[in-house]
Every structure is written in structure tokens, then in C-alpha cells.
Amino acid sequence: MKNKELPDDLSLFSSMTKGIKPLKQDKRHFKAEQKDRRVVEEKTQQLHADSYFSDTYQPHLPTEGAMRWSRSDIDKHELKRLRRGDHQPDLLLDLHGMRQTEAKLELAALIQACIKQQSQCCCVMHGHGTGVLKQHIPMWLAQHPHVMAFHKAPKEWGGDAALLVLIDIGDQPHRR
């Protein structure tokens, strides 16, 4: 073929686009919506509760006597101090009337609050009721990495319907 028979590309393009107006560019920038702080905190709490507490995990808990548990690296005297009431709880959590999912979230939030406020001891009041929370709370507490020990609370803090929990707050000085 001869080059003279074919029109060059530029002249062909300009003849095809003759009379076309160019589009105006929209200058819209789509940013991600700002998330509500409360929603973010609730999702964070849900994530903490789900990652720490399993309903299928069965730790070795006593079947006789008072409900008690301590990590293997904790001195047995700490459990005795909890039983005697030497540790005064700084934070109290009342779970009366809550469902399991609500109680799980509140328990995770309590442990986070203890760490944030440098409170080594807290009290979880689960009540007597049907016994569902009384059965699950010790299992959940035994799974959390910041829980050092727990024991049935003395009568002034709730007796059979409550647990005193000892929290590992890190390298900060401990308060009593």
C-alpha cells in the first residue's frame, strides 16, 4: 500500500472529533465519613470482649468451696489476701439484670478501666439469679491475660453473689 492513499492518523482523528465540546471536570473529592466516637469505642469494646472471652473454654476451677482462681505465676498468698479482704476494690461492676453478651462487654470494659485508672482490685457483682452469670464470669475472668486472680468476695462486698478480682496493671506501683 502506498502512504498517499491512507490519511495520516492526526488528520483522521481531527476530522472525527470536529465539533465535539470537551467535558468539564467535576472537582468532587469523596472523603471517608468521620466515625462517631461512641460507635468506635463500642466496636473496640466488642472486639476486646470477643477476643478475650470464649464460652467454650473450660478452665480448671474448683468444684468445692469458694470460687477462686489464680494464674500459675501468682503467689498463693495473693489469693489468701483476696479471701481475707486485704485488697479493697476501687471499682465496682453490678451485672444484675444483664444478658451474657452485655455482661461480657461490661466485664471487658471494667478490666480496661482498671488498667487505665491503675486500680489493682475490682469487684464484680453478678447476683444469684438463675446462676448463668455466676457460672460464666469465672470462666471469662480466667481467660483474660490481665486477670491475676479472683476469689469469692467477703460479705461486705457481696459474698456469694460477687467476686473480687486482682488485675495486673503493669509495672506501675501497686496500691492497697
Note the pLDDT tens digit of each residue in 18-45. Answer: 888 888 877 777 777 777 888 888 887 7
Q: What is the pLDDT of residue 66?
A: 86
Share of the chain above pLDDT 90, in %: 26
* Domain encompassing residue 97: 37-167
Q: What is the pLDDT of residue 124?
A: 95
Q: Residue 49's closest CA among 99, 109, 96?
A: 109
Q: What is the pLDDT of residue 48?
A: 67
In a domain, 100, yes or no: yes
In a domain, 10, yes or no: no
In a domain, 20, yes or no: no
- Angle at the Cα of 90 from the Cα atoms of 60 and 148, rounded to 5 degrees: 25
2 pLDDT above the threshold of 70:
no
In a domain, 176, yes or no: no
55 pLDDT above the threshold of 50:
yes
In a domain, 22, yes or no: no
Query: Would you give the DSSP letter of residue 169?
Result: -
Burial class (CB in 10 A: 0-12, 13-18, 19+), 93: buried
Query: Domain of 53: which CATH number?
Result: 3.30.1370.110
Q: What total of structural domains would you count in the chain?
A: 1
pTM of the model: 0.68
In a domain, 27, yes or no: no
Q: What are phi and psi of 167, to 5 degrees?
A: -105, 140
Q: What is the pLDDT of residue 7?
A: 67
In a domain, 30, yes or no: no
In a domain, 119, yes or no: yes
Compute how many other C-beta atoms are within 10 angstroms of the C-beta atom of residue 50: 13
Q: What is the pLDDT of residue 49?
A: 66
